[in-house]
Structure 1
Amino acid sequence: MIPYRDTIPAKYTPWMTWAIIALNLAAFAYTQWLTPQDLYYFLNLHGLVPARYTNPEWAVRVGYPPGDYTPFVSSMFLHGGALHLVLNMWLLWIFGDNVEDRMGSVRFLAFYLICGLIAGIVHIYTNPRSNIPTIGASGAIAGVMGAYYFLFPYARVVIWMFFLPWFIEVPAIAFLGVWVIIQLYKVTVGAPSDEPFADVAWFGHLGGFIAGMLLYRFFLLEGRKDDRYFGRHSV
């Protein structure tokens, strides 16, 4: 199932959601101009490589600059391909505007980055020996989805059943619950196997989602609650 949109219109213009999407698009466009060799070095330098921080002696030996923690942020704005980029930005487009509605632009950006940082830390903790650069906005977006899970549980998400020409509406709490179950399956069964996408940072996704669930309340703006769409189920 592929989410198409949600049924809650944004009350305020989601400037920060749009800005984050634009930055991701710009970063991806830049990487497309790089030669394969330059792209390899660029992603290794600006992607999040766990062993770079768990084994600093090895990192210095192979040429990583010591004391550089910028990849914890820069990795959130890099993607490995057009499909990776489109899927992430589509999820942010669907869920980000409503969460930004409740937080305001500045707080939403802080929340987004903190969730992404926590996702990166969880990924390093669970994959300490990996020398593969991790890139993508998935951890930060998972945090946004975690906030959405509690802020708008009874909103409706329109999904496309890709094996059938059908669009159906499901409660957000059901859609996001299935998403969490998929991540749990991957970290318990799929990731240790040779399934496709076994190298995806599934633990990072879960870390970002849990961070969003736990932290969203600290970023809400007073006066931004709107009961027109949520009735008694709003938080």
Structure 2
Amino acid sequence: MISKSTPMTYALIVLCCLLFLLGPAGGLNPAYGSGDALLAAQRAYFRRWGVIPAELFDGPARAALTPATALFVHGSWVHLLGNMLFLYVFGAMTEERMGRVQFTLFYVGCGYLALLGYAAANAASEQSLVGASGAISAVLGAFLYLFPGARVTSLLPFLFFLPLRFPAWVVLPFWAALQWLAAGRAPQGPGVAYLAHLVGFGLGFVVAWMLFGRVNRGCPRVEAAPAPAPEGENLP
């Protein structure tokens, strides 16, 4: 049942899913054809609505909007479902604490700045960057500050994927450390924009601290479903 106190979390999930299904990336809309025609439509779609760092800083004025539009574009089913599961798990409690208007501004603003930070570090790149991972990483950072003691169910591969419950102050910094290590080893070319994750996570934590200070921090016991790490896809 959808909570009346957290409508924007669910609205964001529905919007991202609808855009994916109606666009060429989902491969289900017959208007985009199939085979080579579909691949060409996907590339054009990502370049139109995704962030291209080289154009963002030295291109048409409309490129300045792409860090916002890219938040609602996903490159594959795995990319979409991973991001939306993370948003579902961590977004509702964060929105409830922030309020719907503040949460929406927080989500879009931090997501925009996360993609902008990635673009600034890769200013010569001609690859399209799409995905909500920068914004969702900001939600994770805010969740860590607001609910450090919340119990998060995690699947650990080195323990045969047994579901274990840990507090957020253990799980989320561990996730951020993995992003940091992966960012240092990431090859050049299409892949996951780990730097956008790190920028978003840091922004989310800092913004939550600025907004709430030591007031209204909570340590509820909650169940968080396991999910793969949110990804920001860097597409050719």
TM-score normalised by the chain length of structure 1:
0.80
Query: Which one of the candidate residues 15, 22, 26 is aligned to 1:30?
Result: 22
Query: Which one of the candidate residues 131, 139, 144 is aligned to 2:139?
Result: 144
Does the CA contact (< 8 Å) of 1:11 and 1:101 recur in 2? no
CA separation of 1:187/1:166 partners in 2, compared to 1, >3 Å: closer, same or farther?
Answer: closer
Q: What is the match of residue 67 of structure 1?
A: 61
Equivalent-residue separation in structure 2 for 1:89 and 1:116 (angstroms): 14
Equivalent-residue separation in structure 2 for 1:202 and 1:165 (angstroms): 23
Does the CA contact (< 8 Å) of 2:111 and 2:132 recur in 1? yes
Query: Which one of the candidate residues 8, 23, 26 is aligned to 1:16?
Result: 8
Equivalent position SS for 2:152 = strand
Query: Which one of the candidate residues 164, 180, 185 is aligned to 1:184?
Result: 180
Does the CA contact (< 8 Å) of 2:148 and 2:168 recur in 1? yes
How many Å apart are 1:226 and its aligned residue? 8.1
Q: What is the match of residue 214 of structure 1?
A: 206
Equivalent-residue separation in structure 2 for 1:175 and 1:112 (angstroms): 21
User: Deviation per CA, 1:64-99, whole angstroms, max 9, x where unpaired?
Assistant: xx2102211110011110001111111111110110
Equivalent-residue separation in structure 1 for 2:149 and 2:6 (angstroms): 21
Equivalent-residue separation in structure 2 for 1:210 and 1:227 (angstroms): 19
Name stretches of at least 5 consecutive residues in structure 1 with no aligned partner. Answer: 1-9, 57-65, 231-235
Count of residue correspondences: 205
- Name whichever of 161-170 and 90-99 sits farther off: 161-170
Equivalent position SS for 1:158 = strand
Equivalent-residue separation in structure 2 for 1:202 and 1:121 (angstroms): 13
Identity %: 30
Does the CA contact (< 8 Å) of 1:116 and 1:139 recur in 2? yes
Matches for 1:81-160 after TM superposition, within 5 Å: 81-160=76-155
How many Å apart are 1:117 and its aligned residue? 0.9
Does the CA contact (< 8 Å) of 1:12 and 1:101 recur in 2? no
Query: Which one of the candidate residues 33, 41, 45 is aligned to 2:44?
Result: 41
User: Deviation per CA, 1:25-67, whole angstroms, max 9, x where unpaired?
Assistant: 01110123233222211110100010112332xxxxxxxxx21
Name stretches of at least 5 consecutive residues in structure 2 with no aligned partner. Answer: 33-37, 222-236
Does the CA contact (< 8 Å) of 1:17 and 1:93 recur in 2? yes
Does the CA contact (< 8 Å) of 1:111 and 1:216 recur in 2? no
CA separation of 1:165/1:210 partners in 2, compared to 1, >3 Å: closer, same or farther?
Answer: closer
Q: What is the match of residue 72 of structure 2?
A: 77
How many Å apart are 1:199 and its aligned residue? 2.7
Equivalent position SS for 1:168 = strand
CA separation of 1:154/1:23 partners in 2, compared to 1, >3 Å: closer, same or farther?
Answer: same
RMSD (Å), alpha carbons: 2.4
How many Å apart are 1:12 and its aligned residue? 5.9
How many Å apart are 1:229 and its aligned residue? 3.0
Equivalent position SS for 2:155 = strand
User: Deviation per CA, 1:179-232, whole angstroms, max 9, x where unpaired?
Assistant: 1111110222x11x47xx973211111111111111124555xx9x486837xx
Does the CA contact (< 8 Å) of 1:54 and 1:129 recur in 2? no
